[in-house]
Structures are given as C-alpha cells and as structure tokens.
Chain A
Amino acid sequence: MSENSTEQLLQDLMKRVEALEAKAPEDRLALGVMSGNLDQTIAAFIIAIGAAAYDMQVDMFFTFWATAALRDPRKTASKDMLGKMFGMMLPKGAGQLPLSKMQMLGMGPQMIKYVMKKHGAKSLEELMKDAASLGVKIYVCTMSMDLMGIKREELIDYPHMEYVGVGTFVDIFSKAKQCWFM
C-alpha cells in the first residue's frame, strides 16, 4: 500500500470514528415523570439518586400530573378562575401526593409515610434535596403548567430546574443511554 492511500484510509477512518462518537449515547439517564403519584415519584427519585451515585448525569422531565409534585405549599401565585380551581384540586406539592394503589381516602399515603419513616426510608422531600445536591436536573413541561394553571413562582426552589417543552426532552433522551417514562 502506498503512503498516500494509507494516509487517505486513516483520514477516512478518523472521520467515521468522529461521526460515530458524535452519535454515541452518553452515560446518562433520562426519566420522564408523569404520574403525580407518591409511590411512582419516590421510585423516580430513588433511581435518579442511584444513577447519580454512579456518576451518571440524570435529567428528569416532569409533565402532566407530576408538575403538581413540584409545588411549594408555602408559595402562592395569582391565577385566573380556572387556574384557581385546578390549583385547589391538584396536590399542593410532594407532601400531598396520592398513592397509585391503596389510596383509601387519604389513609394510604399516611400509612406509607409512617412505615417509610419507621424503616429509615427518606421522604420524597428529602429525596428531592439529595437529588439537588447530586446535580440531578429537573425540566418542567411548560405546556402542562399552562394547562393546569401552575405558575413558576409557586414551585419549589430547586437549584437545577428549567422550563421546557418536548423538544428539549427529545434532545435529552436522544443523548442518553437509558430513558424511562413513569
């Protein structure tokens, strides 16, 4: 093989490797969080924290019912009539989320919180703080917020929070090795 063609081959290979690297998924986890249920939201944060312990970048996309889990019960926001009605019907933050099973008119969540405390399991609010300290990012679906009349000023003070649409979530999960929707 002549020196020229070797050089050419090497250049072609380099180009292909670069193209492959640009497309290769990264060691990242993308989580779509939708249910707004206590149990599923806790699971999402436990998995997020576990992945962060593996030094993975974790991006959580909160949509539909899950946006209410990010409300801060101490904060208020001015809203129109419909927004006020939704605001009253939706849980005011992590502390008020219902269970997907065994809701039992509100007794279920109280019982789960009791056994979790007894077993040293952290509350959802504590898990959110851990996630924040590990750099887990939360992306909130702005359309869901609009639909339910949820305002930015009534959400928790989470250090890595952004307000986005599905386009951002697609960009995020297209780079991630794993994407779950729960």
Chain B
Amino acid sequence: MTADELKALQIGKLVDARGTACPGPLLEAKRTIAECPVGAVMEVQSSDDGTIIDVQRWCKKMGYEYLGDREDDGFWSVYLRRVK
C-alpha cells in the first residue's frame, strides 16, 4: 500500500507508542490487538524505526495481515489488519 492509501485507511485501534523504547511498541501492540475487532485495522505509532521490521515479523507469526508503514513527522506508523 502506498503512504497515501495507508493514511486514508479507517483505523479501528490506534496505538501511540511514541514515548516508549523497545519492547514498548511491540508490547503495546500485543495488548491492544486483543481490543481490536476482527477485520479492523490497527495503527502502531513508534519513534523507533526497529518497530517496522519487528511488527512485520510479529504479524507473520501471529497471523495478522501487515498492510505497510509510512514515515510521519518524526515517527513511523505501521498498519496491520486483525484477520482472526
């Protein structure tokens, strides 16, 4: 997905983990995915660019659909869909 497509997605759950370092973003993603309705999109915001690969791998293992990532103003947003 392009950055514009990602930005236009309707977000079911937003995780703002910008203030936390590793393993904060992954931990917050793990905690919030439980509250995310199946089929909805979750956005994880992080100021640590390691989160991009971390969340990609985590999605693959946990069975979530990784949609993409984009750089925002000093942080990164990664998008995934809870498919199950």
Contact = CB atoms under 8 A, between A and B. Distances in A.
Interface of A: 46, 49-50, 52-55, 116, 119-122, 130, 134
Nearest to B22: A46
Interface in B1-42: 19-24, 26-27, 29-30
A122 B26 contact: no
A122 B20 contact: yes
In the complex, the 10 A-B pairs of residues with the closest C-beta atoms, listed nearest first? A121-B21, A53-B30, A120-B21, A49-B23, A53-B26, A120-B20, A120-B19, A50-B23, A119-B21, A46-B23
Contacts, number: 35
If over half of B's interface residues share one DSSP class (helix, strand or loop), that class is named, otherwise mixed; here it is helix
B24 A122 contact: yes
Interface of B: 19-24, 26-27, 29-30, 47, 58, 61-62
A125 to B, nearest CB: 15
27 contacts: A46-B22, A46-B23, A49-B23, A49-B26, A50-B23, A50-B26, A52-B30, A53-B23, A53-B26, A53-B27, A53-B29, A53-B30, A53-B58, A54-B58, A116-B21, A119-B21, A120-B19, A120-B20, A120-B21, A120-B24, A121-B21, A122-B20, A122-B21, A122-B24, A130-B27, A134-B27, A134-B30
A52 B30 CA distance: 9
B50 to A, nearest CB: 11
